[in-house]
């Protein structure tokens, strides 16, 4: 029997994603950078430069982009619900396409992880149930260009009709993304935000058709996927989850909302996505220093139940990517923080070069410093 050993060259194979032929298996995952133009949360020329610099990736996903004003939980994050925002994103997609890149917009709604100062008319954040988020912070503007962390405000529960209106807002945001020139959309269903809040038994205490059983808790996800697929085509849709199987503190429970039966919860969700026929499933693994890998049984289960491309990210190294690729569990691999500090990351990986270190002080908000001024080696 011949044993196939994956090398770094395998990360630079062409791979098909929906209707797109990607030049390599490396992707830029969604990374909040909070550089949008104010007022209005509008994508701008600086953001266009940032994404243009990283078109060495086979595929890129934008930072989380709120689908409506209530979807914002952090200062200066961009939206895709106004005409001005659509026009701003056109600068980004044009810059990326000029370099031959492929980019999807990540559609985002934070749900309960917000603060009244970020909400229209200072209202309460919306959520499946009126359960306040703990062990997490929102980021609010305290003065022009200045911000600080704040505890999320008490949310209010959405009515059944409002949930259905949100499904339509996701479809509208997807339509806006295509108008802005994106190649597709990714639905942010991870990290304790709105869709994750509907899925989770911890945050969804509803008694209508969207709560109770796992089937009901997955209904919001199902309806969004169907509505967005109808709008843009299922081959232009991806979904991101962040399943966790262990938790050692409240923050980690928040990040993945660890369920009593995480394998059952996420495998059923993955089966739902497979039935919908979407292009890809993106799995964000835990990325703190001592974070465990996903259980081998979950890697196997995800691959068994999903026929499209599977993307992985979360403190990945080329070596881990090659191991997952060699096992047949994944197809594309995201490198987040390294891509922030290394615009030419794919080539550095190819040549096994040293990487620039990320400046944590410039991660969120600010100017070109720590954003578009990292040195390129080649």
Phi, psi of 21 (to 5 degrees): -95, 110
User: Helix (H) and strand (E) counts for the chain?
Assistant: 12, 14
What are the residue ranges of helices labelled H in the chain? 45-53, 83-98, 160-179, 194-199, 214-217, 219-232, 250-256, 262-276, 296-305, 318-327, 337-341, 345-350
Sign of the torsion formed by the C-alpha atoms of 131, 132, 136 and 137: positive
Is residue 280 part of the annotated active site? The answer reads no
- Mapped onto helix, strand or coil, the DSSP state of residue 13 is coil
Phi, psi of 24 (to 5 degrees): -160, 175
- Mapped onto helix, strand or coil, the DSSP state of residue 126 is strand
What are the angstrom distances between the C-alpha of 237 and each of 184, 228, 233, 315?
Answer: 6, 8, 7, 24
First to last CA, the chain: 41
CA 89 from centroid of its chain's CA atoms: 17
Dihedral Cα 289, 290, 293, 295, nearest 10 deg: -150
Q: Alpha-carbon distance 96 to 94, whole Å? A: 5
At how many degrees (to 10) do helices 262-276 and 219-232 cross? 20
What are the angstrom distances between the C-alpha of 375 and each of 50, 95, 315, 340?
Answer: 13, 20, 22, 11
How many Cβ atoms are within 10 Å of 372's Cβ, its own excluded?
A: 17
Q: Are 361 and 369 in contact (CB under 8 A)?
A: no
At how many degrees (to 10) do helices 83-98 and 45-53 cross? 30
- Looking at 170, 193, 280, 371, which residue is catalytic? 193
Give catalytic residues, as residue numbers: 193
């Amino acid at each position: 029997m011949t044993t196939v050993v994956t090398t770094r060259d395998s990360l630079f194979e062409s791979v098909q994603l929906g209707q797109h032929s990607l030049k390599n298996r490396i992707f830029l995952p969604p990374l909040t950078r909070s550089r949008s133009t104010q007022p209005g949360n509008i994508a701008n020329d600086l953001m266009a430069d940032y994404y243009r610099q990283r078109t060495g990736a086979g595929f890129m996903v934008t930072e989380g982009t709120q689908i409506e004003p209530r979807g914002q939980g952090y200062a200066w994050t961009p939206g895709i619900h106004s005409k001005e925002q659509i026009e701003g994103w056109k600068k980004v997609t044009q810059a990326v396409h000029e370099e031959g890149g492929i980019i999807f917009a990540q559609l985002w709604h934070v749900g309960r992880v917000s603060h009244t100062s970020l909400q229209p008319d200072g209202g309460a954040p919306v959520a499946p149930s009126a359960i306040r988020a703990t062990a997490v912070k929102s980021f609010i503007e305290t003065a022009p260009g200045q911000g600080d962390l704040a505890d999320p405000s008490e949310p209010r529960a959405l009515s059944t009709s409002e949930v259905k209106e949100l499904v339509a807002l996701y479809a509208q945001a997807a339509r806006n993304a295509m108008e802005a020139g994106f190649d597709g959309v990714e639905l942010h269903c991870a990290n304790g935000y709105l869709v994750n809040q509907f899925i989770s038994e911890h945050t969804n205490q509803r008694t209508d058709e969207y709560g109770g059983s796992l089937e009901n808790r997955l209904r919001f996800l199902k309806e969004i996927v169907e509505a967005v697929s109808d709008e843009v085509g299922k081959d232009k849709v991806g979904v991101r989850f962040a399943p966790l199987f262990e938790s050692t503190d409240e923050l980690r429970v928040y990040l993945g909302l660890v369920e009593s039966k995480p394998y059952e919860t996420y495998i059923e969700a993955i089966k739902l996505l497979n039935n919908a026929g979407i292009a890809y499933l993106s799995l964000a693994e835990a990325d703190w220093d001592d974070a465990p890998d996903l259980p081998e049984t979950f890697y196997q289960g995800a691959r068994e139940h999903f026929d499209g491309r599977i993307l992985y990210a979360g403190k990945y190294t080329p070596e881990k990517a090659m191991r997952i690729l060699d096992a047949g569990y994944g197809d594309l691999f995201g490198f987040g923080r390294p891509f922030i500090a290394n615009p030419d990351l794919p080539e550095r990986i190819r040549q096994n070069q040293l990487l620039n270190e990320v400046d944590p002080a410039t991660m969120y908000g600010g100017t070109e410093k720590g954003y578009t001024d990292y040195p390129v080696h080649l």
